[in-house]
Structure 1
Amino acid sequence: MAKVRKRTLPSGLVRWQAGYVDGAGERRFKLFERKSDAEAWLVETRHDLARGLHTPGSVSPTMKEAAALWIKRCNEKGLEPTTVRGYEEHVDLHIVPFIGMKKAAEMTVPTINGFADQLRDAGRSTVMIKKVVGSVGSIFKELRRRGLANTAPTAGIDLDLGDDDREDPRPIIPTKPELQAIIAGCIDRWRPVILVAIFCGLRASELRGLTWSNVDLDARQLTLTQRADAFHRIGKLKSRTAYRSVPCPSLVLNALREWKLKCPKGDLSLVFPNGIGKVESHSNLLERGLHPILVAAGITELAPVLDEAGKPILNNASEPITREVPKYGMHSLRHACASLWIESGYNPKQIQRLMGHSSIKVTFDIYGHLFADAEADQRAAENVQIRLLGA
């Protein structure tokens, strides 16, 4: 039976005690300074009990404890070390410092919004805030699996994060003249890898994990079955849909035929290994491969010079000191491939399959603007005018 009673504490303070029986038949109590607060809380608690959505605060873990359970589960599921490390950074740098000591039972939609506001005030970017709140949602998924929570306070939440949401979400894609300059400038061992990146749209991890058994020169295609992670370990692809076959144009096939004759041999039979036949590092793909090509071709941009804390170094006029840096990374070549396929008439479903996206939504989110038909849009605008005005 749920009741609110007046209690005098040993210290002489008067408090109002709300008592109820939880779903497991245990008697629970909570003290309030005001009777109205106790009664309001008890009404809400009884409502949650009736719907099976109540977890007593006394058995609810703190968010720090809950996060530890989630990270443990991530390791048990065999997630990639880089993925787990990213989650650990979310916990250590963003979740624990702000809400680590809060009980999971205290986390509500307003609390989550307040947490997002705290992160924004502390200088976190909009992208990072969304990722961290997503991690909080994953923590609650694990708590529900363990029977330690019955709610999902981040489900369907609409974070109001200000003007950062107005930034252009479209990827930066190299222009055709830039791609032509890159192709003209890539020589020796870097030519085949750059050509495959541009014309086949592979992720850098897929390039690093590609084997000769997955290169069918007669069928003129590559078959993707594995990737190399940040720790140089060969493993599964990013998602089920990442397992795919990709066509190769003649320029790529000829480069691969030539490269196969002098490719370093190794136990893994990799197409693009390092000098001793082992997995090539991502940093070498950039620092020894793509970036020198970009610099030699003049495809650079100005970027601020940062200090050890990651802040721009200023000159005597209090202006940021800048330097020229390569304009693109390996993933930009993947974007370029997608844009060329779309320009050639491939439909969204084909692009999803060839790029290995997990869903068509991912394809539209990244490349939706490239499917636009300006002429069709103009014809539609003219038709609206004719229907309305008759001329």
Structure 2
Amino acid sequence: MGSISAYESARGRRYRGRWRDEAGRQHERRGFRTKREARAYISEIEIAMSGGRSALPREARITVDGLAADWLANKQQALKPSSFAPLMTAWRVYVAPRWATTAIGAIRPSAVEKWIRELGQGAAITDRVRQSYAGKPRSASVVFRAVGVLAGIIDVAVRDGRIRSNPARGVSNMPRRDVAARRPYLTDDEVFRFARCAPDSMRSTLILTLAYTGIRWGEAVALRVGDVDIPQRRLRVSRTATEVSGKIHIGAPKSWQARTVPFPAFLDSRIEELAANMDPSDLIFPSSTGGFLHRPDTAQNRQSWWLTALNDAGVQHLTPHALKHTAASLAVSAGANVKALQRILGHKSAAMTLDTYADLFEDDLSDVADRLNKRVLANVRLERRGGYE
């Protein structure tokens, strides 16, 4: 909706009208003698921009903003805070500035495709505060998430029968997805060098626990003394302390299911030392104030104990989550099969584990071929040219 305000001129009180075009850019016209004239002018502009919104069926006149609140609330209820936060950011920063006041029935595929192009070029209007982002092209992942939010909101209108089809589905110019960087896999020697450079024994043990159990950072810092079974060398992972915008949220693990994870014997004494004289409800890896340990800053050119330890150890830059990948790599090299790895990592299925870590099983393909060759040589007499008798 446009706005109208009064101002004083040499010829007396006049009115100005302000409105935003389809790209979100603000415009203004001055000199109206009455508020009614200004309002009528802005109404004409808005009708023209909406493609004749007043001619739309009543149920199609609802704006994107009118449906977004419930859609976001439903997502917040269904998702973990760490999964919901990126959706909320995409809505606030990219979707709302462009589409919030647009009628659902007035959205055209061509307008969505133009918006996608502008996002990719860095020309779309956004609500980014940091000037360093201004004019910069957005990555494919950012574009996919923003379009996904818009499409999800419009899906509600389609299901409710407000419109027949979703103009944000089936667009022709979605960017190619970003090429995933090669995962960093540390060797045993690199893991221990890194752990030795941690500022204290607790964080040293934390690094080793992450690298040799595959649990996530949030799962590790939520572990209590009662979750550790030293005789059986097991960790019971039943909750996670996820940090979102500096606030810790306690919830179920990512798979929504508790699991038991084994740990190697060399961690026995380290964990026993941390758990000594503590109650079952006490945290194994607490902060200096006794609360949950916050995730270290791992952005390039920042300061944190994690980055200092990496630098001192001469180990490549990596995040706490990357130690989960290292754990998978070390487990596979130790002979773990896919089903065991799935349980350790907390994946929903073995297929997910294979899809995620297919590169770790490349050697298995060569091993299969070698074993087949040995069996054939042992059981079949081969001719010189590869035939058989």
With normalisation by structure 2, the TM-score equals 0.66
Over residues 60-111 of structure 1, what are the superposed CA-to-partner deviations in whole Å (9 max), with x where a residue is unaligned? 4222333233223334x26444444322210121112333343333456655
Deviation at 1:126, TM superposition (A): 0.9
Instruction: State how far apart, in whole Å, the 1-side matches of 2:350 and 2:151 are.
Output: 23
Distance 1:257 1:176, change over 3 A: closer
Distance 1:157 1:341, change over 3 A: farther
Task: Pick the aligned partner of 2:193 from 181, 186, 210.
Answer: 181
Shift of 1:280: 1.5
Task: Name stretches of at least 5 consecutive residues in structure 1 with no aligned partner.
Answer: 1-30, 33-54, 301-326
Measure how far apart 1:235 and its partner are: 2.0
Q: Superposition pairs for residues 360-375 of structure 1, below 5 Å?
A: 360-373=350-363, 375=366
Q: Is 1:261 matched with 2:276?
A: yes
1:153 CA drift (Å): 5.0
The answer to whether the aligner puts 1:299 opposite 2:311 as a matched pair is: no
Tell me whether 221-230 or 344-353 shows the greater mean CA deviation.
344-353
Partner of 2:5: none
Could you tell me which residue of structure 2 aligns to residue 209 of structure 1? 222
Q: Is the 8 A contact 2:226 2:281 kept in 1?
A: no
Aligned counterpart, 2:86 = 86
Shift of 1:296: 1.6
The Cα shift of 1:149 comes to: 5.0
Residue 184 of structure 2 aligns to which amino acid in structure 1?
A: I
CA contact (8 A) 1:95 1:132 kept: yes
Distance (whole Å) between structure 1 residues aligned to residue 64 and residue 340 of structure 2:
43
Residue aligned with 2:60, SS: coil
RMSD value, Cα: 3.6
Q: CA, structure 1 residues 92+234, in 2 after alignment: closer, same or farther (shift >3 Å)?
A: closer
Change over 3 Å in CA distance of 1:68–1:184 after alignment to 2: same
The corresponding residue for 1:39 is none
**Mapping 1:136-175, distance limit 5 Å:** 136-144=150-158, 148=162, 151-152=165-166, 160-162=174-176, 165=178, 167-175=179-187
Partners of 2:165 and 2:348 in 1: how far apart? 27
For 2:321 and 2:214, locate their aligned partners in 1 and report how far apart those are by CA, in whole Å.
Answer: 9
SS of match in other structure, 2:248: coil
Task: Report the equivalent of 1:131.
Answer: 145
Distance 1:217 1:149 in 2: 60
Q: CA deviation at 1:188?
A: 1.8
- Is contact 1:62–1:104 with CA below 8 Å preserved after alignment? yes
Residues of 2 paired with 1:113 and 1:370: CA distance? 39
Q: Which runs of 5+ in 2 are unaligned?
A: 1-46, 49-55, 123-136, 374-381
TM-superposed CA distance for 1:348, in Å, is 2.9
- Distance in 1 (alpha carbons) for counterparts of 2:225 and 2:248: 18
* 3-state DSSP of counterpart to 2:151: helix
- Residues 82, 340 of structure 1: alpha-carbon distance in 2 compared, 3 angstrom cutoff: closer
Alignment of 1:239 with 2:251, yes or no, is no
After superposition, where does 1:302-381 map in structure 2 within 5 Å?
327-373=317-363, 375-376=366-367
Q: Do the aligned partners of 1:246 and 1:354 also contact (CA within 8 Å) in 2?
A: yes
TM-score, with structure 1 as normaliser: 0.65
CA distance in 2 between counterparts of 1:350 and 1:105 reads 51
Counterpart position of 1:282: 295
Quick one: which amino acid aligns to residue 366 of structure 2? E
The answer as to whether partners of 1:112 and 1:153 remain within 8 angstroms in 2 is yes
Match of 2:117 in 1: 117
Per-residue CA deviations over 1:355-386 (Å, capped at 9, x if unaligned) read 11244454334311111135258769x9xxx9
Provide the residue aligned with 1:12 in structure 2. Answer: none
Structure 1 CA distance, aligned partners of 2:277 and 2:262?
23
Distance 1:111 1:350 in 2: 49
Moved more, 202-211 or 360-369: 360-369
Structure 1 segments, 4+ long, off by >6 Å, are 284-287, 377-380
Q: Quick check: 208-217 or 356-365, which moved more?
A: 356-365
Report how many aligned residue pairs link the two structures: 302
Q: What's the % identity of the aligned pairs?
A: 23
1:271 paired to 2:284: yes
